[in-house]
Structure 1
Amino acid sequence: MAALSTRGLISRLHHHVISPNPVPFHLLTGRFFSSDALLDGSQIVHQQPTRIITATPSIMTPNSKRTGIIAVKCGMTALWDKWGARLPITILWADDNIVTQVKTVEKEGIFALQIGCGHKRPKHLTKPEMGHFRAQGVDLKRKLKEFPVTEEYALLPVGTSLGVRHFVAGQYVDVSGTSRGKGFQGGMKRWGFKGMPASHGASLSHRSIGSTGQRDAPGKVPGAEGNFVFIKDSVYKNPDVSTLPFPTHFAGEDEGETNIEPLVADLGEVDPFLVAD
C-alpha cells in the first residue's frame, strides 16, 4: 500500500491529536503489522525477564564448558623429576583475573564471559574503554578476553575473581597467544623445521619444510616473555570433569594467601619420557 501524501498525513496526525479515539499508528503510516504485534492499535513489546546470575558451586558434566583465564608469560625454568630427568617448564602469572562482562543470549546472542587481567592507568585507555569499565563497575584492566561458556551454572557474576586454582594439578590445558614475529622467513627459520636432506635427491629444496602434521610436539607455550596467553580446558585431552571446580574455584573463609600450598601432580611409577608414543 502506497504511503499517504504529506498533506493527508498532517491532516490525520491533527485528527489523531484532537480525536478522543486515536487512529492506530499503522493506519497513519500506511503500513500494516501482523495481528500478534498489534493490539488495539498499540505495538506489543516482548521483554525478556532479567537473568539473575549467582556464583553457585555445581557439578560439571561432560557437556559443560568453563571459562578460561589470562596469564602473563614470565619466562622459562627447569625442574628435575624423581628419575633425574630435566623438565623444562614455563612460568605463567595469572595477574588478578576478574569477570568484566557477562554476555547472554537475550542481549548479545551468546553465552560468554569476558575476563580482564592486569591493571591499567586511565590515561592509557580510550574513552570507549573507560565507558565500558565504568558501565560494568569494575577496575581498569590491561587485557580482555572473551571465553564462550555453557548456560547452565557456568555463568559468573561481574567482579568474580579467578585464580590458578581454576585448574587442577596434572590437568591438560590449551594455551594460545601471539607468537613472536619472524617476518618473511622460510619454514626452517620461522618454525624450526628440520628441512629436507642436504645430499642426494633434494635439488633446490634443502630448506623446504617437507611433510608436517603427524605429531603434536613440540608443545611450546606461544608468545614472548611479557606477552599475554589464554588458558582454558583442553579440547582433545579432556580432563576428568569430576575433579574440576565448576564453574570455578571459590576460596573458603579459612583459605588465605599465607595458607596456600603448591599443588604438585602425581608423576606415577613410569617415566613419561621413556614411554613410547
Structure 2
Amino acid sequence: MIFINKGIKLFFYKKKLILLNIIKYINLNKFYLNFYIYSLLIKNISKGKGFQGVIKRWGFSTKDKSHGCSLSYRTMGSTGQCQDPGRVFKGKKMPGRMGGKHFSIYSKIFLRQNNYFYIRKILPGIKNDFLKVKVL
C-alpha cells in the first residue's frame, strides 16, 4: 500500500498535548478501506542533513568560549589514548554524514477518516513524501 506523509497535527485533550501524524492513502485500489485496519508497518527514509559535526550529530557539549579558546570551541576534543592502545577504537562517535537512513516503525491507528489515517508516532522524513506501508 502506498501512503503520503501529510505532516503533524496538534490536539489538546484534557489539558494534554497530543501530536498526531497524518498519512493519506493514495492507492487507486480502495479494497483495504472496506476493512478495519488495526496496525501498520511503515517504512521510510529519514531526512538527510549532510556532513555534520559531533555537536549536532551526537549531542556533544561545546568547550568554553573564553580562556584563549577562540576558534575551536565546537571541536570534539581527544579521540583516543596515548601510546598504550595506539589507535582509535571502532565505533568512536565522530563527525560524518547524518540522516538519510531507512526506518521501520510499527504503529497503531489512532483515528481514521475516509482516506486519512491518524497515528500517534512521529514519522521520519519530509512532508508529502511517499511511505511504504504493510497492513498487519
Bigger fraction of residues in strand: 2
| Max Rg structure | 1
TMscore range, shorter length: 0.3 to 0.5
Greater RCO (CA < 8 Å, at least 6 residues apart): 2
TM-score (norm 1): 0.26
